Amino acid sequence: MTQERTAPPSRHGAQIDWNGICSRMDAVQAVLDRDILLSTKEKCAILKARALVLAQEQARGGPTEGGVEVIEFRLASETYAVEPAFVREIWPLKDFTPLPGTPPFVLGIVNVRGQILSVIDLKKFFHLPEKGLSEMNNVIIIRNDRMEFGLLADAVLGTFQVSLSALQSPPPTVTGTGAEYLKGVTAERVIVLDTLKILSDEKIVVNEEVGKSGGI
């Protein structure tokens, strides 16, 4: 006797069709069984993991027409996001070297596999409450065809889909503290940065000559 699998509703009340997912996966598994044999327990574990991902997509609204994937990260008490099109990689901040004579928002430089990159602390640039460094800090390395440097993140949270056409104007609390570098705010209050603006603005790109080695 086969036991019917059910799942709790997502944050928006949507139910996951476990039986439908299992049926589709059973058909796929019939092909895979020629090379790999999975137990029923292992198969269900895979299905549950994939269903959890599906539930997260549903909670976020899922892929939308005209939507774009963004990388979500924390700065102080706010949640920000950048478009992956401008992100080269995410590098854990283990060590950095301060640069004397640079603006306060320049944290310093890091060595990423032999390449020296500058790191910008947007909390200082946006005048956000400062927070001490921890093992959760990461450097989001952004670039375009002429510039490349890192953005300090308190923590990288993951990716999700947003509709740029549905972005709201920044709240009054953001006005005057970097509002010109924002594309807008999602319904979940995630602040989407204008990464291209950050990469090209002369107030941030303080020394283009250093850019020949990959930094600012």
Please state whether beta strands 148-153 and 138-143 pair in parallel, antiparallel, or not at all (unpaired): antiparallel
Whether the predicted pLDDT of 123 surpasses 70:
yes
Tell me, yes or no, whether 1 lies in a domain: no
Smallest CA-to-CA distance from 108 within 91, 125, 92, 95 is with 95
Same-domain check for residues 106 and 198: yes
Contact call for residues 51 and 22 (beta carbons, < 8 A): no
Between the two ends of the chain, the Cα-to-Cα distance in Å is: 65
- Report the pLDDT averaged over residues 140-145: 94
- Report the pLDDT averaged over residues 53-74: 64
Q: Helix or strand or coil: residue 154? A: coil
- Report the pLDDT averaged over residues 25-36: 48
pLDDT digits over 162-209, tens only?
Answer: 887 888 887 666 655 577 888 889 988 899 999 999 998 888 765 544
Indicate if the alpha-carbon torsion angle 71, 72, 74, 77 is positive or negative: positive
pLDDT at position 171: 66
Tell me, yes or no, whether 13 lies in a domain: no
Whether the predicted pLDDT of 96 surpasses 90:
yes
Contact call for residues 111 and 161 (beta carbons, < 8 A): no
CATH number of the domain bearing residue 114: 2.40.50.180
Same-domain check for residues 104 and 38: no
Q: Give strand ranges (E) for 26-168.
A: 67-75, 78-82, 87-92, 106-112, 115-120, 138-143, 148-153, 155-163
pLDDT at position 162: 86
Contact call for residues 173 and 162 (beta carbons, < 8 A): no
pLDDT at position 24: 54
Same-domain check for residues 105 and 169: yes
Contact call for residues 110 and 117 (beta carbons, < 8 A): yes
Q: Helix or strand or coil: residue 88? A: strand
pLDDT at position 81: 95
Contact call for residues 162 and 81 (beta carbons, < 8 A): yes
Q: Which residues of 82-116 are buried (b: 16+ CB within 10 A; e: fewer)?
A: bbeebbeeebebeebeebeebeebbbbbbebeeee
Domain holding 159, by residue range, is: 67-213
pLDDT at position 127: 85
Which among 36, 59, 82 is the end of a domain? 59
Tell me, yes or no, whether 143 lies in a domain: yes
Tell me, yes or no, whether 138 lies in a domain: yes
Whether the predicted pLDDT of 35 surpasses 50:
no
Angle at CA 192, nearest 5°, toward 187 and 197? Answer: 150
Domain count within the chain: 2
Contact call for residues 9 and 54 (beta carbons, < 8 A): no
